Amino acid sequence: LNDDSIAIADLSATGTASSSTYLRGDNTWSTPASGANSPCFFGRQDTAHSVATVTWTKLINMGTNPINIGSGWDESAGRFTCGSGDAGIYLFYAGGSVLNLDAGDNIQARFTLNGSEYGGKSINYQENGNHVLTGQMQTMINLSVNDYVEFEIRHNEGSTEDTNEEFCWIGGFKLIGVP
């Protein structure tokens, strides 16, 4: 077959071909999802806070370079709450960091949904002493109205350590075109 040798009318696809549809892999003409990935939010930490050893601690003070399109993001509390009319599937991503981890220490990171761990956790180990170590995660969560998501970190350094605000962030957005 030559390029451009099959006319649209010769396809046995269902639906209607037009300038506002595309041909899916299942041979169906479909209209692309419209709208914005809203709500969406992002924030980097503006003020360090203490993380006690071997204690899950929510990242807060996320007011540097904030983005808050839609509703639900509380940057000072580090919490996203799904508002009325915003239920659906979301992609969340985050990173958290503490200072002064020694050889053999680790940092763990996790998301929580309504106060309970969601989607497992990541663990990063320190091979050399006294460095900054960051725990990062991404996850997709199907939220209902009033569900809330937070990001927590913990470490095993042996003493309380401050976060490194340069490497602490959280963001997320609702996926469009997903049932």
Write down the pLDDT at residue 27. 82
Write down the pLDDT at residue 11. 74
Spatial distance between the Cα atoms of 45 and 41, rounded to a whole number of angstroms: 13
Spatial distance between the Cα atoms of 137 and 146, rounded to a whole number of angstroms: 23
- Of 48, 39, 49, the closest CA to residue 171 belongs to 39
10-residue stretch averages of pLDDT, the chain, 179 residues long: 70 79 80 77 94 95 90 92 94 92 88 94 76 85 97 93 93 86
Write down the pLDDT at residue 1. 65
Write down the pLDDT at residue 34. 64
Cα→Cα distances 56→10, 18, 111, 137, 165, Å: 61, 53, 11, 15, 17
Write down the pLDDT at residue 41. 95
Joined together, the tokens standing for residue 33 give: 């999802």
Write down the pLDDT at residue 35. 67
pTM: 0.80
